[in-house]
Chains A and B, each alone.
Chain A
Amino acid sequence: MTGRDGSPEPVVSLRGAELAYDGKALWRGLTFDVRPGEFLAVLGPNGSGKTSLLRVLLGRQPLTAGSVTVLGGPPHNGSKRIGYVPQHKTLPAVTALRARDLVRLGLDGHRWGPRPASAATRSRVNELLEVVGATVYADVPLGSLSGGELQCVRIAQALATDPRILLCDEPLLSLDLHHQRSVTALVDRRRRSAGTAVVFVTHEINPVLSMVDRVLYLARGGFRIGPPDEVMTSASLSRLYGTRVDVVRVRDRIVVAGAPDESTVHNHAGGPDNDRPDGGGPSNGAPP
């Protein structure tokens, strides 16, 4: 599946990228490209720098070494050509916005000065809500939406400026299986219809396994990148973690056993994570 070489210019390109905090490298030597329409899943234990990678691509965090190019130039904060979907967080019930207002903020929320919504803005918002199937709850206050509904609205918001890259930071966290499916289906449809590249940070590969082109697995300062069949193997992850990790394929699911979490790496010098047979997925979901 890496055979997308020869296709258009990469939208994201890292060369020998390193990010270190207080002298400790989260990752180093990171070199890869993301091409238009590609679905890249970013996996790894807590603290392995997955979210920081997104912050680098958003231009909110400079590298400590190496180089990064986003859409042909250095990343800059606030680019309209990048859509960003954050982790699901319950909003306070008093948040004085409805679903449609959150989507509109994605269009013009960064502009100064008062201005009522133009007819064009309103119709664009309606269009986006329809794309994600949120028309029925367009006027529901954000505090009353379910987690899955809110994430769909967030995707509509991220798509508002018609981005060429979609950065998703664990958008499935705390969603049930049904909503995980609808959110991933939306993201997948978008990259197929518009050629938007997707960088999808996740704890859990199974909900997106059928869609991902390549996996970037970050752990212990190193990384593996390639198609899931190459990266998600016992040999590959054992080498990355420096300890024995078993990867088992059960029907269309991947189960990782023995991958230490980053926090336990420090405490127990690489001892296996106790009762986490799937290697760190908090919501593994029931097998189909």
Chain B
Amino acid sequence: MTGSVRPGGCSVGRVLADGEHDIGILGQIFGFDHYGELLALAQDALLAGALLGLVGGLAGVFVVMRDLPFAVHGISELSFAGASAALFLGMNIVAGSIVGSLVAAGTIGALGVRARDRNAVIGIIMPFGLGLGVLFLSLYKGRAANKFGVLTGQIVAVATPQTAWLVGTSAVVLVVLAIMWRPLTFASADPEVAAARGVPVRALSLAFMLVLGLAVALCVQIVGALLVLSLLVTPAAAAARLTASPVVLPLLSVTFALVSMEGGLLLALGSTLPVSPYVTTISFAIYLGCRLAGARRTAGA
């Protein structure tokens, strides 16, 4: 089992850059040597990145609308615990993080119907998840880079079985989101009227938490448990600054998530650093830009 999954805590770039010395900080951050060859090697990562952009951008629309950023954070910590347990036990890390995510999402969805209860539930399970994760990582005797990777991002060197997991889970998330998009919009914006019109508001709330759990588990793979919010909240929040159209907003959100994700991957490729700082920085820059543009738009209106 261990052989099929390679949790690479380091990027392809870092592998190739091993042995080079004294390249300076800028050289570490931006490097484009052997870029063509690296690009060929990174095809799987780029595909995974595109899927994550799509999933993060779309699920993020509802994370923002339903005020769930804290839930995303809580789920990601249990996802981290699941991934660490899988790492320690030598099992599939993606499967481990998915199991952790779903347990967290199911708990939050079932116990935290009202926002106030929900935040308390999240605040309680989050440190527990982190503690479990730390435990398994401390027990794990493998490479230190693997440990770091679970928290802050990894898998530019995605092995094929892992890509299959990513594609399969993304497909599930996208299909379920498409099916429940409209009733979920109704239930999120206007729960009372939606319930009066026969929309199963509670069931949808739980279903979305589970979908969100899967989305978080996916994002943890590339940006790491600590930085998941940059894919699941920032792009949609940025888009919401520019438009309230239910068609344009998800498109913008996906575009922002894709630009952050793929831009981050492409920049990280030639450098010696992990992907996550690039992704989070681009994502944040887009948000700032949208905030400024949104403020100008409101002032001009």
Are A and B physically bound partners?
A: yes
Residues of A within 8 A of B189 (CB): 91, 95-97, 102, 105, 142
* B237 in contact (CB, < 8 A): yes
Is B124 an interface position by the 8 A CB rule? no
Nearest opposing residue in chain A for B199, CB measure:
A110
**Shortest CB–CB separation between residue A233 and chain B, in angstroms?**
34
Contact with B along A109-153 (1 / 0, CB 8 A): 111111110000000000000000000000001110000000000
- Does B65 sit at the interface, judged by CB under 8 A? yes
Stretch at the interface among A77-85, A247-255, A258-266: A77-85
Within 8 A of B (CB), among A1-23: none
Contact B182 A141 (CB under 8 A): no
Task: Let me know if A60 is at the binding interface, CB within 8 A.
Answer: yes
Instruction: Give every chain B residue within 8 A of A84 (Cβ-Cβ).
Output: 192-193, 196-197
4 new A-B contacts, CB < 8 A, other than A78-B196, A96-B245, are: A96-B189, A98-B244, A113-B179, A114-B182
A114 to B185, CA, bound (A): 12
B117 close to chain A: CB less than 8 A: no
Q: List 25 A-B contacts (CB under 8 A).
A: A58-B196, A77-B195, A78-B197, A79-B198, A86-B190, A86-B196, A91-B189, A94-B237, A95-B65, A96-B189, A96-B244, A96-B245, A97-B185, A102-B190, A105-B185, A105-B190, A105-B193, A106-B193, A108-B182, A109-B183, A110-B183, A110-B199, A111-B182, A112-B180, A142-B189
B186 touching A113 by the CB < 8 A rule? no
Docked pose: A116 CA to B250 CA in angstroms: 14
A-B contact count (CB 8 A): 98
Q: Provide the main secondary structure of the chain B interface.
A: helix
Give chain B residues whose Cβ lies under 8 Å from the Cβ of A105.
182, 185-186, 189-190, 193-194
Contact between chains at B182 and A94 (CB < 8 Å) = no
Q: How far, in whole Å, are A82 and B64 apart by their CA atoms in the complex?
A: 31
B195–A60 CB distance below 8 A: yes
Enumerate chain A residues within 8 angstroms of B240, measured Cβ to Cβ.
Answer: 94, 96
Q: How many positions in chain A have a CB within 8 Å of any CB in the partner chain?
A: 35
Interface residues of B toward A: which range? 20 to 34
A38 at the interface (CB under 8 A from B): no
For residue A157, CB closer than 8 A to chain B, the reply is yes
A95-B244, A96-B61, A97-B189 known; A113 vs B178 contact (CB < 8 Å) = yes
User: Is residue A101 contacting chain B, with contact meaning CB distance below 8 A?
Assistant: yes
Residues A109 and B186 in contact in the complex (CB < 8 Å), given A84-B196, A141-B244? yes
- Does B181 lie at the interface of the complex (its beta carbon under 8 Å from any beta carbon of A)? yes
Q: Indicate whether A92 sits within 8 Å of B67 (C-beta atoms), given known contacts A98-B245, A109-B186, A112-B179.
A: yes
| Complex CA–CA separation, A143 to B294 (angstroms) | 14
A102 to B197, CA, bound (A): 13
The chain B residue sitting closest to A105, CB to CB, is: B186
Q: Cβ of A113: which chain B residues have Cβ within 8 Å of it?
A: 178-179, 182
B46 CB-CB contact with A under 8 Å: no
User: Which of these, B181, B194, B198, B246, contacts A97 with CB under 8 Å?
Assistant: B246
| Identity of the chain B residue whose Cβ is nearest the Cβ of A158 in the assembled complex | B193
Q: Which of A77, A101, A157 contacts B193 (CB 8 A)?
A: A157
Bitwise interface map of B from 245 to 264 toward A, beta carbon under 8 Å scored 1, else 0: 11101000000000000000
Is there an interface contact between A77 and B198, defined as CB atoms closer than 8 Å?
yes
Query: Which residues of B57-101 have CB atoms within 8 Å of chain A's CB atoms?
Result: 61, 64-65, 67
CB neighbours (8 Å) of B194 from chain A are 105, 109-110
